Amino acid sequence: MISKVSPHFLFSVDLEDVRDMVPNGMMYTPKVPELTKKYLDFLKEKKSFATFFVVGSLARKYPDLIKLIRDEGHELGCHSDKHLPVSTQNQEDFRSDLEANINALKKAGVNNIYGYRAPTFSLTEEVSWVYPILEEFNLTYSSSVLPARNPLFGWPGFGDLPKKVGAITEVPITLSGTSILNVPFAGGVYLRALPYPLIDYFFKKAIRRTAVTSYIHPYDIDTEQEPFMHPYINDNKFYNFLLYYNRKNALSRISKLVKKFELNIIPYKQYIDSL
Ligand SMILES: [Zn+2]
């Protein structure tokens, strides 16, 4: 008899402070520790472990928060030191930024670091020199590619399944949809803004093929954040409206999906080891 294995759900938090990326950001209320604890409580309630990709500057600011995430059994990985898209860096800049990111995590007490996520999924074919550098730092996987054409970044043709690039396993962000709308539906603004039945349908399509990857930020559940223009959206007011939309239901939507599809939330490292 074949035993039923729950599909894997790679729920991950991109741990960054959006205030660091907007003009005069420090005038807004600091919320990262409080919001991160909400994610930790959510995961504890689900008896699950996830991956937190952490920006180095945040690890330096909140070392106790990093230790708390570690002590609760979650995986911590890199999300760059200053949250600059890879395309704005040359190889030397990238190398020193990654080194600073790793040192910040180590200083906060994280000893086992395996994974990398590029800011805003900015790992594209043009900057694939990133992979040997990840290898230099003994990382083993990345989840940084959006495998389609995209207004911001994207690597069409990469394919939608995990694959090795040199020694690094790349787990691309899961896309699903239709011929006209193919989006990273299980994370961030899409998860909140698309009608729920559509998310449910996209999820059903994707989970048949592979583990679904999801990414979420502290601000995605911040229902009290002051209004300001978010970074990386070219001052697009409609997109900024969507960035604030339906934050109160982000976690309940994930709960609903986990329950319906009997998903097993696991850290990336555990998934990579199972491949
Ligand atoms: Zn980020």
pLDDT in tens, 165-197: 999 999 999 999 887 788 999 999 999 999 999
CA of 15 to the centre of ligand 1 (A): 7
pLDDT by position in tens, the chain (length 275): 333 567 999 999 999 999 999 999 999 999 999 999 999 999 999 999 999 999 999 999 999 999 999 999 999 999 999 999 999 999 999 999 999 999 999 999 999 999 999 999 999 999 999 999 999 999 999 999 999 988 888 999 999 999 999 999 999 999 998 877 889 999 999 999 999 999 999 999 999 988 999 999 999 999 999 999 999 999 999 999 999 999 999 999 999 999 999 999 999 999 999 99
CA–centroid distance, residue 190 to ligand 1 (Å): 15
Distance from Cα 17 to the centre of ligand 1, integer Å: 9
For residue 81, the CA-to-ligand 1 centroid distance in Å is 11
CA of 73 from ligand 1 middle (Å) equals 22
Q: Give residue 221 CA to ligand 1 midpoint distance, Å.
A: 15
- Three-state secondary structure string covering 162-191: CEEECCEEECCCCCEECCCCEECCCCHHHH
Quote the strand ranges of the chain, DSSP E. Answer: 8-15, 51-54, 75-78, 115-116, 141-142, 163-165, 168-170, 176-177, 182-183, 212-216, 264-265
Dist CA 188 CA 203 (whole Å): 15
5 C-alpha vs ligand 1 centroid, how far in Å? 31
Give residue 115 CA to ligand 1 midpoint distance, Å: 14
- The alpha carbon of 84 and the centre of ligand 1 are apart by a number of angstroms equal to 9
The alpha carbon of 53 and the centre of ligand 1 are apart by a number of angstroms equal to: 8
From the CA of 34, how far away is ligand 1's center (Å)? 18
Cα 79 to ligand 1 centroid, rounded to whole Å: 7
Distance from residue 13's CA to the centre of ligand 1 (Å): 9
Task: Give the distance, in angstroms, between the CA of residue 265 and the centroid of all CA atoms in the same chain.
Answer: 14
Q: From the CA of 4, how far away is ligand 1's center (Å)? A: 35
The structural domains of the chain, ordered by start, are 8-274 (3.20.20.370)
